[in-house]
Every structure is written in structure tokens, then in C-alpha cells.
């Protein structure tokens, strides 16, 4: 019997929060027909305008029972009083799993479904979320979090990671891997991977360290100490470390490791250099040090990622 999934939208929803997971479940259904029955739902139903102005047609909120409820995020969550119908519905609808993408976590929290639980949401909303819901254990530095039958994810594209994790939970790792390949996305990022990695890539919230990040990418094989990075940024080491962490959400040392990991993964998956040589090329030096970093970030050693890329 197909698993019934209700994806809930509202005026001002973020369209990729919904379209990304829909694509994941659509492709999973191709590989395992009869697995999912999707419905797009909204208070009152009808055409619902996203924050981009593009509308999607939705059915009215149903009474269930459902296998999974997924709540979209978006700018509309900034006016929670306008979403009282969704919040009231969440309190009563029967479902095996309740999930959210991005700021959709606000509605789960308003419905009391996150009290005493771990969750995450978009990095730009974490300070506000923590103030509003002190009884929720917010884990801001995560792509997605599962706590029992409640799953939450970080910003926008992380909804794809969440949906792939749900597919893996339902249909197994092989189907989830094939879906990721079809969508041309990295094989599912572990939920524990930091959502602040995107801020590192961009040089921070304001792009203040964008030039420094470009320089770091070009010098990964060299020692990249805080002192050297601070000198490059024309700052004292102490002030640099503080400013960099505030801008990117992570420390300089973790940012360096992040850049080395991304460069190493590309070499491992697409290149032919021996693993030991890759470790030197990207600045890890010791292959064992690189292996431990891969396990922390990707849940697999370099050799496993190379085998998977060539299978």
C-alpha cells in the first residue's frame, strides 16, 4: 500500500522547499512503484502563491490518517498568526511522521511537537527560533535532525537531503542512492554535516572573507594557521578568529578542513591519484588524518567514496 505524504504549503512558502522533496519522492516512485502517494495541501486549498509569485495548486488540509506530513518553510512563516489553521491541524492530524523543511520548524514548534526534542532550521532564523522556543533543543549546525518520529531540516536545499533520508528509511540505501544519482546531487549528505559550510564557501554572511577563501583554496597544500590567515586578512589573530567565526558560523580551523575535504572528495571521486597522494595535494598530509575527516563529514572513508563513484 502506498505511503501517503502530505506536503503542506501556505501563502509565501519557499517553492524549492516543496519542489525539491517532491522530485525526490517522484524519482523514488519510479524505482519502486507503489511506494508513495503525494498530495499538496493548504488551508482552504486552491492556488497558493509562493514567495517568488509562482503558484501551486493544493487540496484542502485533510483529516488523515497519513504516513508523513511535510511542512514547507518560507517567508510566510514570519507571520505565524496567519498560519493558525496549519498549526491547529498539526495538533490533530494522524500521521506516522511529521517533518519540516527550513522555517517550517516554526509550525511544528508552535503546535508543541518539538518540546523536549532536537531539531534544526535555517541558519538565519536560529537565534529567533531559540528565543521563541526555549523548550526545544535546537541543533543549529545540522543539515537535518531526526528525533523519533519528527524530522526537521535546515534551509531550502536541505529539504532534498531530508527527503532522501526519508526514502532511505522507507526503501533502503540503494534506492536513495539511485534517486540521488538521478537528481545529480551528492549522494545524501549525512544529517550531521554542518549547514554553515555554504557560508564558508561564500566567505561569510556578508562576503567579507570571500577573497580570503579564494586564496585559501589556491594554497590548501600549505600550512594554513590562524596566524597566517590573520596576516593575509590584515588583522590580529585574535580579532580575525572572532570575526571569521561570527561571519561564517565556524572557526578558521574547521573552515580549512572543510575546504580540504571538498577538494579531496573531488579528487577521490573524479581523479586517479592514489589516496595517499590526494592527502598531500590538499594539505591533509597524513592519509589517516584525511580518513578520519572523511568519516566525520561523509560517514565513509575515501576508498568507499571512490568505489561508489565508479560503480
Catalytic residue positions, numbered: 102
Q: List Cβ neighbours of 238 (8 Å cut-off, separation of 6 or more).
A: none
Instruction: Indicate left, alpha or beta for 84 from its phi (over 0: left) and psi (-120 to 50: alpha).
Output: alpha
Scored b (16 or more CB within 10 A) or e, 277-293 reads ebbebbbbeebeebbeb
Amino acid at each position: 500500500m502506498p505511503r501517503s505524504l502530505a506536503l503542506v504549503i501556505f501563502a509565501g512558502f519557499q517553492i524549492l522547499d516543496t519542489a525539491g522533496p517532491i522530485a525526490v519522492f517522484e524519482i523514488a516512485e519510479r524505482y519502486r512503484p507503489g511506494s508513495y502517494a503525494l498530495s499538496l495541501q493548504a488551508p482552504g486549498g486552491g492556488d497558493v502563491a509562493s514567495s517568488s509569485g509562482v503558484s501551486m495548486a493544493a487540496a484542502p488540509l485533510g483529516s488523515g490518517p497519513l504516513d508523513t506530513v511535510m511542512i514547507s518553510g518560507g517567508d510566510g512563516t514570519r507571520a505565524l498568526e496567519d498560519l493558525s489553521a496549519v498549526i491547529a491541524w498539526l495538533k490533530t492530524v494522524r500521521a506516522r511522521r511529521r517533518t519540516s523543511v527550513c522555517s517550517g520548524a516554526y509550525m511544528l514548534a508552535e503546535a508543541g511537537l518539538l518540546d523536549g526534542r532536537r531539531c534544526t532550521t535555517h541558519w538565519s532564523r536560529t537565534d529567533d527560533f531559540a528565543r521563541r522556543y526555549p523548550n526545544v533543543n535546537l541543533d543549529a549546525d545540522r543539515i537535518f535532525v531526526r528525533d523519533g518520529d519528527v524530522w526537521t531540516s535546515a534551509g531550502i536545499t536541505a529539504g532534498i537531503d531530508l527527503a532522501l533520508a526519508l526514502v532511505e528509511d522507507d526503501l533502503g540505501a540503494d534506492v536513495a542512492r539511485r534517486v540521488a544519482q538521478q537528481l545529480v546531487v551528492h549522494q545524501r549528505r549525512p544529517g550531521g554535516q554542518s549547514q554553515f559550510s555554504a557560508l564558508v564557501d561564500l566567505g561569510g554572511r556578508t562576503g567579507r572573507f570571500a577573497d580570503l577563501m579564494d586564496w585559501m583554496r589556491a594554497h590548501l597544500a600549505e600550512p594554513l594557521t590562524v596566524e597566517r590567515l590573520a596576516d593575509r586578512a590584515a588583522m590580529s589573530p585574535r580579532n580575525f578568529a572572532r570575526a571569521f567565526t561570527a561571519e561564517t558560523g565556524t572557526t578558521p580551523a574547521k573552515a580549512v578542513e572543510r575546504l580540504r575535504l571538498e577538494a579531496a572528495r573531488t579528487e577521490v571521486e573524479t581523479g586517479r591519484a592514489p589516496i595517499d597522494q590526494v592527502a598531500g595535494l590538499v594539505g591533509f598530509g597524513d592519509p589517516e588524518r584525511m580518513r578520519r575527516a572523511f568519516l566525520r563529514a561523509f560517514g565513509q572513508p575515501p576508498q568507499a567514496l571512490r568505489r561508489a563513484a565508479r560503480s
